[in-house]
């Protein structure tokens, strides 16, 4: 049984698509706001790959999000937005709403386990999401601590080491099979949480692809499985 639970955040704990689209509704209307959220997110992995491949020095995700925002604003014909508006819009990632099951389930899990995010999001972003959604982390781990981005093994291993835990004593919890496959390859235990609507209705993962130690339809169900 693990003694540390590490969580992916974007998509697993928070509804990034719905939250980003909601921020853009006054500017774009629903259909274009959702398309903008998708386009912004589509820049996420390519931007991090620049860092993972060594073509860019490590920088916080806030910096990459802003770089990506400037690209998408131009693509959507919104290049006229001034600097203040761009800074505020970039902070939308600090204001993402949790999925309904998350708050109560984290409280249950914390009674038995130490909890931390293991996200590509920077520490200030993770702290702001915790304060907004009423979560209590025992630490904040992830990309900024490891100075690299998932799915590099160093991110998972640094998170476990922060708790003086062997990899097998840490459980990586995520809604993305690729994230869990990388964590498993690094020696961590893994738990899949279904988020079938993460990228829009029916456009998320409802089942794990590949082996995992636990598979649940919600964080509440995972808490049940772990005896919390």
From 94, 124, 148, give the residue that closes a domain.
94
136 and 202 part of one domain: yes
Phi, psi of 226 (to 5 degrees): -90, 5
127 and 190 part of one domain: yes
Residue 1's pLDDT is: 84
> What domain range is 115 assigned to?
4-15+96-225
146 and 64 part of one domain: no
Tokens of 146: 């490891």
Residue 99's pLDDT is: 98
What's the pLDDT band for 116 if we cut at 50, 70, 90?
A: very high
pLDDT tens digit string along 84-102?
999 999 999 999 999 999 9
**CATH number of 89's domain:** 1.10.150.240
100 and 156 part of one domain: yes
- Cβ atoms of residues 113 and 4 within 8 Å: yes
Tokens of 134: 């009423």
Residue 129's pLDDT is: 98
208 and 138 part of one domain: yes
72 and 108 part of one domain: no
Residues 6+ apart with CB under 8 A from 89: 23, 24, 69, 81
pTM over 0.85, yes/no? yes
Residue 157's pLDDT is: 98
Residue 161's pLDDT is: 98
110 and 138 part of one domain: yes
116 and 128 part of one domain: yes
196 and 106 part of one domain: yes
From 94, 126, 152, give the residue that closes a domain.
94
Question: Which string of DSSP letters, residue by residue, matches the chain?
Answer: --SEEEE--BTTTB-HHHHHHHHHHHHH-HHHHHHHHHHHHHTHHHHHHHHHTTSS----HHHHHHHHHHHHHHHTT-TT--HHHHHHHHGGGGSPPBPTTHHHHHHHHHTTSEEEEEESS-HHHHHHHHHHHT---S--EEHHHHTS-TTSHHHHHHHHHHTT--GGGEEEEES-HHHHHHHHHTT-EEEEE--TTTTSTT-S-SS-SS--SEEESSHHHHHHHTT-
pLDDT tens digit string along 10-63?
999 999 999 999 999 988 988 999 999 999 999 999 999 999 999 999 999 999
Residue 130's pLDDT is: 98
- Residue whose tokens read 């959507």: 76
76 and 86 part of one domain: yes
Residue 222's pLDDT is: 98
120 and 196 part of one domain: yes
Identify any residues that bridge with 174 across adjacent strands, giving them in sequence order.
192
Q: What whole-number percentage of the chain has pLDDT above 90?
A: 97
From 37, 69, 94, give the residue that closes a domain.
94
Please give the mean pLDDT across all residues of the chain. Answer: 97
**CATH number of 216's domain:** 3.40.50.1000
117 and 216 part of one domain: yes
Q: How many domains does the chain have?
A: 2
**Which candidate, 196, 201, 224, 207, places its Cα nearest to that of 11?**
196
Residue 27's pLDDT is: 84
């Amino acid at each position: 049984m693990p003694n540390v639970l590490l969580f992916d955040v974007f998509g697993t704990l928070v509804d990034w698509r719905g939250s980003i689209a909601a921020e853009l509704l006054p500017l774009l209307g629903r259909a274009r706001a959702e398309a903008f959220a998708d386009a912004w997110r589509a820049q996420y992995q390519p931007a991090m790959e620049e860092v993972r491949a060594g073509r860019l020095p490590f920088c916080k995700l806030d910096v990459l999000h802003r770089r990506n925002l400037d690209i998408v604003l131009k693509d959507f014909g919104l290049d006229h937005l001034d600097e203040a508006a761009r800074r505020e819009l970039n902070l939308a990632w600090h204001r993402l709403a949790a999925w309904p099951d998350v708050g109560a389930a984290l409280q249950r899990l914390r009674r038995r386990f130490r909890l931390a995010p293991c996200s590509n999001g920077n520490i200030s972003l993770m702290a702001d999401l915790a304060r907004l959604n009423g979560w209590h982390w025992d630490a904040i781990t992830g990309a900024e601590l490891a100075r690299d981005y998932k799915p590099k093994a160093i991110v998972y291993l640094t998170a476990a080491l922060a708790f003086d835990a062997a990899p097998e004593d840490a459980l990586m919890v995520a809604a993305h099979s690729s994230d869990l496959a990388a964590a498993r390859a690094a020696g961590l235990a893994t738990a899949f949480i279904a988020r079938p609507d993460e990228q829009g209705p029916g456009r998320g993962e409802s089942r794990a692809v590949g082996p995992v130690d636990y598979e649940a339809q919600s964080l509440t169900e995972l808490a049940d499985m772990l005896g919390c």
